[in-house]
Structure 1
Amino acid sequence: MIEIKEDQIASLLKEAIEQLRTEDDRRLVSFTKKIATANPLQFFEAAKHIRENRAFWTSSSQMLWLTGVGTAFEMGADESRFEVIEAAWNKILNEAYIHNPYEVPGTGIVAIGGMSFDPENTQTELWKKFRPSQFRIPEFLLTKYDSSYYLTINVCVRKNDHAKQLAEELRLIEQKLLTERALPDHGLYIQDENEMDSDKWMDIVRRATEEIRKQNVEKIVLARELRLTFNRRADISPVLNNLLKTQPNSYIFAYEIGDDCFVGATPERLVKVEKNKLLSTCLAGTAPRGETKEEDMKISEALLNDEKNRQEHDFVVQMIKRGIKDYCTQVAIPDEPIVRPFKNLQHLYTPVTAQLKDGYTILDIVKQLHPTPALGGSPKEESLAFIREHELLDRGWYGAPIGWMDSSNNGEFAVAIRSALIQKNQASLFAGCGVVKDSDPQSEYEETKIKLLPMLTVLGG
């Protein structure tokens, strides 16, 4: 194991500072070291009074955990968001000083972030802190990969910085972040629950079915919002802890900007890339869980044989196949889906594997796959046009890619469903459903109620 001593950190900082020519120049310095065991959630909680803007991520297998603290560098874009972020990311990596002797995903320079569902939609006051595309390189990043732990410290240095002094400041903050502490009690309950125009929402579902019957569109996904008010300001750490306990096999995420935090537990992977091996997931078609093993199996079989859900699922399979074919080789897709159970729901599931061609990155794939028919509809442009005109909310980052990418070309993005935007003592919860020509508005409404349950439960509902 290669350890980084404090004088080595100071030496790396000094080398980077000496390369700067003017006082306006800055350079990102990143160093990663292996550490003893550390609790990612306690690290997240410890940061609350040390640095603003925390981030949390764990993969659905819980193989990888990331906790980001503070901001060493931020990338954002309002237009041409994929191209702008890709260019900024490449520039950072080309100029940065990186010390990372470990070939481990989620170490080195890691950018964590996401994007809005539809940058062409009008942004409301609700999502004013979240840009159409926004990624942060944390100042401190705790990575748990399998059973090993790593700490990456990223800092932007300027010409007048003092290397030894800066190294000592970073060491003291690291010490505080790695000090074990108990999580606060949840203590949260809902004082007020406001369904946003549920009757009007069902009217829009009817209008969508009429549009589909005209054969202009095959499927339109419509989302709705539930607004909650709590007895007090919500602590994010207990919310994450409850999601980890109640939503196994899901991606658990949080992205904090000041007093606002977008948090969720999504079962839906968009794409994962590790050493050019690509994995995407088709997860569309939903049913509840049964109360007994026999009932669960009966519901599962019905889901597998349901024409509406199979059609909805196939839209996603075909879209992913089209989206990656020019960027990948060795594309492999099973002929039939299986049913994958989660805590509250079960879904039709088809994995897609491939080999990413040289010269392409995970952002190229995200651009092709978002929005999937499971969150937008099919065909894409026609369904998005209907959503823009008729949907009653600003989705913001709901239903959009959220995830991470690292300086070794690894990364993973999930689709941010089963989520909530928490703002002090309030929260907006989001859920959607796929509308096809035979959809029943009341049934679709009931489906969204089921999809709201994971977040509603952990927030005191």
Structure 2
Amino acid sequence: MKLAVHAPGRLVVRTTPVADPGDLLSRLPHPTALAWVRHGDGLVGWGETARLELPGGHDRFAAADAWLREMFDPAEVDDPLRLPGTGPVAFGSFGFDPKSADSVLIVPRYVLGRRDGRAWVTTIGDPAEDGPFPPLAGLPPVAAAPAAPGRLTWSDGARSAPSWEQAVATATSRIRSGHLGKVVLARDLIAHAARPIDARALLERLAGRYPTCYTFAVAGLVGATPELLIRRSGDRVDSLVLAGTTARGTAPADDDARARTLFRSGKDREEHSYAVDMVRDALAPLCTDLDVPDEPELLRLPNVTHLASPVHGRLAAHRTVLDVLAALHPTPAVAGTPTDRALELIRELEGMDRGRYAGPVGWVDARGDGEWGIALRCAELDGTRARLFAGCGIVADSDPAAELAEAQNKFRAMQYALEG
């Protein structure tokens, strides 16, 4: 595997406890933001000490882990807190397809974090290149309010709506013929803005509207995902499986009726069971204990309601969060089942490269702890252009028009962030 690497020599890392910083996102000093925030807690970063860009391949998670060990193991670290997310940290985002060359890890120059009522600033640098590298004296100042993108125009991505419906119809035909059990098909939508799009403006709006989601930004990929792929804290791992979706109702009674219909839907329950079974099968060999619920619960977000199953386990041996990612990705919730056949059909029918959409996104520290979600409800930013993504799980009795409506609902999170 050939790696594209920018890395300094031996790192000097200083974590300093600080007073409560308030809104973490408001402290980001410029648009090239790194972020992972939920309910106000999490990590934000800026600057770049090291970067790894990975080509495609099934060993990309192992390659990323090996690179981080080379970076972090010899580092000179002063970390009095020793919490998940203190000390050396990397933010990352992996391409959805194992063949994708879009995966990236970034070790920031500065990290600001908060967890369980404690806050800190971490500086990560190389004194051989930069000279003395003292810890920050205190909190970075609150940044000026980021500018909104201005007037937007919209255009289709790889497929128009009718063309995508036809792709869904083709997928259901393949499923009914026994070729596979489920496939997840995605669409993209392009926004063109009057001004360069500042990731911080989108992050602030997403975090405000979707506080229960994980609001993230890594190398221009920005979004708010409801799906926790894996959290590792010591030997404990947690995952949240989401599959099966309906739009929110227009009134409380309508909303409750839609939720009941979703919970009883054979199509949605089948889609959900595929995803839960795969996560169980992937985690069971890694864990001494694993708790998987027999029935899903309902997760209500401002625009959609999902079937959700929280999964908890204890790791049998020392494995980093990247080791667990390698076992889990891609899940049936974002690919389908069987995985290899689903990936083949996605490549055939979507007419696009997903890039890092529906791939793992999150952070990892030097202890192997970290939180990683699936990059959903997101957009890739490039100057004045944003590429939005939405996907739907397709099974034998999926209706193309209904799936198109579901995809449109899923676009709304990022449309809201851009249009604000």
Q: TM-score, normalised by structure 2?
A: 0.93
2:213 alignment partner, one of 250, 256, 273: 250
Call closer, same or farther: CA 1:29–1:356 in 2, change over 3 Å.
Answer: same
Match of 2:119 among 149, 154, 168: 149
Q: Matches of 2:385 and 2:130 in 1, distance apart?
A: 41
Are 2:18 and 1:35 equivalent residues in the alignment?
Answer: yes
**Residue 434 to residue 187, structure 1, CA distance change in 2 (3 Å):** closer
Deviation of the 1:271 alpha carbon: 0.5
SS at match of 1:323: helix
2:154 corresponds to? 192
Residue 119 of structure 1 deviates from its aligned partner by 3.1
1:263 aligned to 2:222?
Answer: yes
1:354 — aligned with what? 313
- Per-residue CA distance 1:268-312 (angstroms, 9 max, x = gap): 110111121110111110011112221111111111100000000
Distance 1:178 1:327 in 2: 40
Aligned residues: 410
- Structure 2 Cα separation of the partners of residues 267 and 30 of structure 1: 32
Please provide the CA RMSD for this pair. 1.9
Q: Does 2:193 correspond to 1:218?
A: no
Aligned to 1:88: 67
1:184, distance to aligned residue in structure 2 (A): 3.0
Report the alpha carbon displacement of residue 29 of structure 1 after superposing the two structures with TM: 1.1
In 2, Cα distance between the equivalents of 1:423 and 1:76? 18
* Distance in 1 separating the partners of 2:372 and 2:291: 20
Q: Percent identity?
A: 33
Distance 2:249 2:24 in 1: 33
| Letter in structure 1 aligned against 2:107 | I
Using the TM superposition, give the Cα deviation of residue 76 of structure 1 relative to its aligned residue in structure 2, in angstroms: 3.0
Between 106-115 and 230-239, report the one with greater CA deviation: 230-239
Distance 1:204 1:279, change over 3 A: same
Q: Deviations over 1:9-45 (max 9, x none)?
A: xxxxxxxxxxxxxxx982011110011232422221x
One-letter amino acid of the structure 2 residue matched with residue 77 of structure 1: L
* Kept after mapping to 2: 8 A contact 1:248/1:343: no
* Structure 1 SS opposite 2:419: coil
Which residue does the alignment assign to 1:445? Answer: 404
User: How many angstroms apart in 2 are the aligned matches of 1:329 and 1:273?
Assistant: 14
Whichever residue aligns with residue 336 of structure 1, its letter is: E
Tell me: CA distance 1:328–1:423, structure 2 relative to 1, closer, same or farther (3 Å).
Answer: same
1:187 is displaced (CA, Å) by 5.6
In structure 2, what is the Cα distance between the partners aligned to 1:331 and 1:308? 26
Counterpart amino acid of residue 317 in structure 1: V
Distance (whole Å) between structure 1 residues aligned to residue 91 and residue 337 of structure 2:
29
The match for 1:183 among 139, 142, 145 is 145
1:230-249 to 2 correspondences below 5 Å: 230-249=193-212
Contact 2:152–2:419 under 8 Å retained in 1: yes
- Please list, as runs of the form range in 1=range in 2, the aligned pairs for 1:244-393 lying within 5 A after superposition: 244-256=207-219, 261-393=220-352
Question: How has the CA–CA distance of structure 1 residues 72 and 161 changed in structure 2, closer, same or farther, with 3 Å as cutoff?
Answer: closer
CA distance 1:435–1:30, change in 2 (3 Å): same
| Greater alpha carbon shift after TM alignment, 144-153 vs 186-195 | 186-195
How does 1:404-419 map onto structure 2 within 5 Å?
404-419=363-378
Q: For 1:284 and 1:161, locate their aligned partners in 2 and report how far apart those are by CA, in whole Å.
A: 48
Equivalent residues in 2 for 1:49-88, closer than 5 Å: 53-59=32-38, 61-62=39-40, 64-78=41-55, 79=57, 80-88=59-67
Q: What is the aligned partner in structure 1 of residue 3 from structure 2?
A: none
Instruction: Give the 3-state SS of the residue equivalent to 2:285 in structure 1.
Output: coil
Task: Answer whether contact 2:8 2:49 (CA < 8 A) is retained.
Answer: no
* In 2: Cα distance, 1:188 partner to 1:148 partner: 37
How far does residue 161 in structure 1 lie from its aligned partner after superposition? 5.9
**Contact 2:149-2:193 within 8 A present in 1 as well:** no
Task: Give the Cα separation in 2 of the matches to 1:311 and 1:25.
Answer: 49
1:248/1:342 contact within 8 Å kept: no
The amino acid across from 1:65 in the alignment is G
Q: What is the identity, as a one-letter code, of the residue corresponding to 2:186?
A: A
Contact 2:48 2:106 in 1 (8 A): yes
> SS of 1:459's equivalent?
helix
- What is aligned with 1:109? 88
Shift of 1:408: 2.5
Residue type matched to 2:24 in 1? Answer: P
Contact 1:189/1:459 (CA < 8 Å) preserved in 2? no
Q: Say if 1:119 and 1:132, in contact at 8 Å, map to a contact too.
A: no
Name the CA distance, whole Å, in 2 between partners of 1:150 and 1:298. Answer: 45
Aligned to 1:99: 78
In 1, Cα distance between the equivalents of 2:221 and 2:131? 36
Paired with 1:363 and 1:222, the residues of 2 have a C-alpha distance of 26
* Letter in structure 2 aligned against 1:182: A
What is the Cα deviation at residue 65 of structure 1? 1.9
**Any idea what SS the aligned residue of 1:207 has?**
helix
For 1:385 and 1:265, the matched residues in 2 are separated by 28
How many angstroms apart in 1 are the aligned matches of 2:142 and 2:401?
49
Counterpart pick for 2:395 among 419, 433, 436: 436
Q: 1:336 and 1:156, CA in 2 relative to 1: closer, same or farther beyond 3 A?
A: same
Hey, what's the Cα distance between the residues in 2 that align with 1:136 and 1:95? Answer: 18
In 2: Cα distance, 1:187 partner to 1:304 partner: 39
Unaligned runs of 5+ in 1: 1-23, 122-130
TM-score scaled to structure 1, two decimals?
0.85
Which residue of 47, 63, 69 corresponds with 2:30? 47
Q: Which residue of 2 aligns with 1:18?
A: none
Deviations 1:375-413 (A, max 9, x none): 100110110011112211110000010001112332110
The DSSP-based 3-state class of the residue aligned with 2:73 is helix
Q: 2:8 touches 2:50 (CA, 8 Å); kept in 1?
A: no
Q: Secondary structure at the match of 1:47?
A: coil
* Amino acid aligned to 2:210: Q
Over 3 Å counting, the alpha-carbon distance change for 1:202 and 1:161 in structure 2 is closer
The 2-side partners of 1:266 and 1:421 are apart by 14
Structure ID, larger Rg: 1
